[in-house]
Chain A
């Protein structure tokens, strides 16, 4: 976009980041009367940050509707959050998000987002979460259409590199070359740093080289770093990142939902030393989904292998890459470049330890091992029916937890505990205030939407005063 159309004096609210949170902020600020400029670092086709890869949003509601199958009250929502975070959350902000989430369904619909009824692929979250018709990119498209219709100015491929914040007051944002953006208020909604491998290396060492980044390559965390450099107070574990088990053949970036693998509970998992390292049947996969990334990240070379037989294949969602297939365990080992003798021994030991039971993937069944370390607590069946299948697994990073502290008005808090005058944050860049660890499906969007709206409202008010 040429500079003259981004006339700095004409901007009240500058929003950095064009995903869910940034768009909610831009739309809200614009509706409140502010002149808004939104900067998106990606191209138009790849806009929307990780929101492109989302599918559903968790929200508090009092009863079933056309789109959710039952109620999800505040107490239950809070309890779910408390459980996944182990109680380590900013309770005030968390409850604020939960309570404010109630009118998201209608608000988002007003912005053009459409919902879909629960279908086969969405049933396990059908009560608590609303599913966007077409998924996150469709939601992002609706937001952009609404924002542009309202008169929000949008600039693509516009990456800010430097923030000028003095005494808690935003002065200017600078891009490459001579670009400078001034505004009365700033909303930072530019996501986390999960695509920044060298930053991840600061905490994970060389292992980070073997991480797959599930989302957009644009989330470099540059704005997070700038806010911290300008004195914002950090929050959340800097080493923390949400990592799941992914097919190792996934693209390095942007593979999104399709590269995940749900095979783990239905077979065994070994590392490249052909050793099992964790109870594959500890709990339902949606609950354990989030720990396997970290588990694999701690294995040698950050790789593991899911080993299955023909019985197991129909039990989980098909994956984008076909499994490695072989007629026998030694052949499978060879195909996966594992030691055939060791894998045969591991499978035999496992098979001997399996106790008879009634296999039922819908419940925590009684198919378990005895005298095996680590045990497999549920869904343990002998791996004995050819053909045998293997999937290579890698840690796939979804998001990082490190963020900047904010108050209930979305103002960035500085290290002296004072809130910024005109700097607001929303989305992944501040989600670590609330989701400090663990994973709650669809909750990232909830935080982004609620705090995006708050940030937009507050920024508009700030700009008007």
Chain B
């Protein structure tokens, strides 16, 4: 749907919701909606990124299709979020990556993998690639130290910059919100809401996901993915610290911090992503935005591959398969970080920004009410 039509449809649906308000107990979207009487693009962008897609409102809605009002908030909000990601990304030339995201993510990851394979074959050679390497610096005998550290660092900095740019654009776009000043309390409150995924609780009932029944499974699986990802990030950070500051080179023994954190995170990611993919496969297509589902699937598959190859690398690091597994794992990791700002990961920054806005707005509304 072209953006102007989407905004018009968003305003139509939100106007109906605002005259009903039965769903106000489910999440932050409806209380935020109640502070408004009209819904322009900025309002819709903000509300869409407050929506956690729990779908409780869809099944509770007396105006959901086949009613002639055809209210379908989860689908509408997903379409608007996709539009947010597209519009606020940088550089604008890369915005089309969000149109057929799964295809783009697959192509970029495959290219990264191919590139790494070619480099390893050319520079390391088959002899070293298929040999068994043991002891400190084993991985660097397949992929040299500089190659393993510099490009990832640059890609990460680039990704972070794109996401921050998007968040700032989002913040500017939604600046007309009725909220008061944004202090540390808003950041803390938003962090609590985000880290606890409180809006996947659906007002205490859970999500209507994958179907009409209430379930907490999506929230817990998302926790596994998120905290799994954080553990893996911690593992990498500790390893980098060991390497650069203490001079201890990987591979590390099994009962070392990098391996313990990485294993816990990897297991969480594998279970979490596989579970979410299963739920997605089972989920009701009616309240879904198809291109958003594709984006979700691409992201989850890539995270799953990254964690599985990482775990395989750990399991077989003392065998001749190590070199091949390392190349594949690095390919998956490269694909993940290259596409990170141009895929589902973007939801994290926009949601957090929207939650900050919401915390400030609610505080202001409460202050005015008293």
Chain A residues at the B interface, C-beta cutoff of 8 Å: 43, 45-46, 52-53, 55, 114, 116-117, 119-122, 131, 133-138, 141, 145, 251, 254, 256-260, 314, 317-320, 322
Contact (Cβ within 8 A) B204 A133: yes
A141 to chain B, nearest CB (A): 6
Chain B residue with the shortest CB-CB distance to A112: B214
Contact (Cβ within 8 A) A138 B19: no
Measured between alpha carbons, how far is A96 from B212 in the docked complex, in Å? 36
Given contacts A256-B63, A258-B63, is CB(A135)–CB(B22) below 8 Å? yes
| Cβ–Cβ < 8 Å partners of A46 in chain B | 66-67
| Cβ–Cβ < 8 Å partners of A319 in chain B | 19
Measured between alpha carbons, how far is A55 from B20 in the docked complex, in Å? 10
| Cβ–Cβ < 8 Å partners of A256 in chain B | 20, 62-63
Contact (Cβ within 8 A) B57 A134: yes
Contact (Cβ within 8 A) B212 A141: yes
| Cβ–Cβ < 8 Å partners of B21 in chain A | 120-121
Contact (Cβ within 8 A) B212 A133: no
Contact (Cβ within 8 A) A121 B34: yes
| Cβ–Cβ < 8 Å partners of B68 in chain A | 251, 254
Contact (Cβ within 8 A) B63 A116: no
Given contacts A133-B26, A134-B26, A257-B20, is CB(A119)–CB(B31) below 8 Å? yes
Contact (Cβ within 8 A) B62 A117: no
| Cβ–Cβ < 8 Å partners of B19 in chain A | 257-260, 317-320
Contact (Cβ within 8 A) B15 A318: yes
Contact (Cβ within 8 A) B203 A116: yes
Measured between alpha carbons, how far is A302 from B19 in the docked complex, in Å? 24
Measured between alpha carbons, how far is A254 from B212 in the docked complex, in Å? 22
| Cβ–Cβ < 8 Å partners of B31 in chain A | 119-120
Q: Does B281 contact A (CB under 8 A)?
A: no
Contact (Cβ within 8 A) A117 B15: no
Contact (Cβ within 8 A) A254 B56: no
Q: Does B213 contact A (CB under 8 A)?
A: yes
Q: Which of B55-76 contact A (CB under 8 A)?
A: 56-57, 59-69
| Cβ–Cβ < 8 Å partners of B212 in chain A | 141
| Cβ–Cβ < 8 Å partners of B204 in chain A | 114, 133
Q: Does B160 contact A (CB under 8 A)?
A: no
Measured between alpha carbons, how far is A55 from B66 in the docked complex, in Å? 21
28 residue pairs of the A-B complex, CB under 8 angstroms, read A43-B66, A46-B67, A53-B62, A114-B204, A116-B25, A116-B203, A117-B25, A120-B21, A121-B21, A121-B24, A121-B34, A122-B24, A133-B204, A134-B203, A136-B22, A141-B59, A141-B60, A141-B212, A251-B68, A254-B62, A254-B67, A256-B20, A258-B19, A259-B19, A318-B15, A319-B19, A320-B16, A322-B15
Q: Which of B15, B34, B60 has the most CB of A within 10 A?
A: B60
- In the complex, besides A55-B22, A135-B60, A320-B15, 16 extra interface pairs with C-beta distance below 8 angstroms are A45-B64, A46-B66, A116-B203, A119-B25, A121-B21, A122-B24, A134-B23, A137-B59, A137-B62, A256-B20, A256-B62, A257-B20, A258-B19, A259-B19, A318-B15, A319-B19
Q: Does B205 contact A (CB under 8 A)?
A: yes
B237 to chain A, nearest CB (A): 41
Measured between alpha carbons, how far is A117 from B69 in the docked complex, in Å? 27
- Residue in B16, B23, B37, B65 whose beta carbon sits within 8 Å of that of A258 in the complex: B16
Q: Does B249 contact A (CB under 8 A)?
A: no
Chain B residues at the A interface, C-beta cutoff of 8 Å: 15-16, 18-26, 31, 34, 37, 56-57, 59-69, 203-205, 212-213
Measured between alpha carbons, how far is A116 from B67 in the docked complex, in Å? 25
| Cβ–Cβ < 8 Å partners of B34 in chain A | 120-121
Contact (Cβ within 8 A) B60 A137: yes
Contact (Cβ within 8 A) A145 B25: no
| Cβ–Cβ < 8 Å partners of A135 in chain B | 20, 22-23, 60, 62
Contact (Cβ within 8 A) A119 B62: no
| Cβ–Cβ < 8 Å partners of A133 in chain B | 25-26, 203-205
Chain B residue with the shortest CB-CB distance to A252: B68
Measured between alpha carbons, how far is A46 from B69 in the docked complex, in Å? 13
Measured between alpha carbons, how far is A319 from B212 in the docked complex, in Å? 29
| Cβ–Cβ < 8 Å partners of A254 in chain B | 62, 67-68
Given contacts A141-B212, A319-B19, is CB(A134)–CB(B62) below 8 Å? no
Q: Which of B15, B19, B61, B69 has the most CB of A within 10 A?
A: B19
- Residue in B20, B24, B25, B66 whose beta carbon sits within 8 Å of that of A45 in the complex: B66
Measured between alpha carbons, how far is A121 from B62 in the docked complex, in Å? 17
- Residue in A114, A131, A136, A138 whose beta carbon sits within 8 Å of that of B59 in the complex: A138
| Cβ–Cβ < 8 Å partners of B205 in chain A | 114, 133-134
Measured between alpha carbons, how far is A107 from B61 in the docked complex, in Å? 23
Chain A residue with the shortest CB-CB distance to B24: A119
Measured between alpha carbons, how far is A121 from B31 in the docked complex, in Å? 9
A259 to chain B, nearest CB (A): 8
Contact (Cβ within 8 A) A318 B62: no
Chain A residue with the shortest CB-CB distance to B19: A258
Measured between alpha carbons, how far is A94 from B65 in the docked complex, in Å? 38
A323 to chain B, nearest CB (A): 11
| Cβ–Cβ < 8 Å partners of B213 in chain A | 145
A347 to chain B, nearest CB (A): 24
| Cβ–Cβ < 8 Å partners of B18 in chain A | 318
| Cβ–Cβ < 8 Å partners of B25 in chain A | 116-117, 119, 131, 133-134
Measured between alpha carbons, how far is A464 from B47 in the docked complex, in Å? 55
Chain A residue with the shortest CB-CB distance to B26: A134
A358 to chain B, nearest CB (A): 20
Measured between alpha carbons, how far is A269 from B66 in the docked complex, in Å? 35
Measured between alpha carbons, how far is A121 from B34 in the docked complex, in Å? 8
| Cβ–Cβ < 8 Å partners of A134 in chain B | 22-23, 25-26, 56-57, 60, 203, 205
Measured between alpha carbons, how far is A134 from B20 in the docked complex, in Å? 11
Measured between alpha carbons, how far is A119 from B15 in the docked complex, in Å? 19
B86 to chain A, nearest CB (A): 29
| Cβ–Cβ < 8 Å partners of A141 in chain B | 59-60, 212
Measured between alpha carbons, how far is A134 from B34 in the docked complex, in Å? 15
Chain A residue with the shortest CB-CB distance to B68: A251
Given contacts A55-B22, A119-B24, A256-B20, is CB(A136)–CB(B62) below 8 Å? yes
| Cβ–Cβ < 8 Å partners of A114 in chain B | 203-205
Given contacts A120-B24, A318-B37, is CB(A138)–CB(B16) below 8 Å? no
Measured between alpha carbons, how far is A198 from B16 in the docked complex, in Å? 30
Measured between alpha carbons, how far is A45 from B25 in the docked complex, in Å? 22
| Cβ–Cβ < 8 Å partners of B62 in chain A | 52-53, 135-137, 254, 256
| Cβ–Cβ < 8 Å partners of A43 in chain B | 66
Q: Lowest 6 CB-CB distances: which A-B pairs, in order? A: A135-B22, A116-B25, A134-B60, A258-B19, A121-B21, A138-B60
Q: Which of A45, A137, A322 has the most CB of B within 10 A?
A: A137
| Cβ–Cβ < 8 Å partners of A259 in chain B | 19
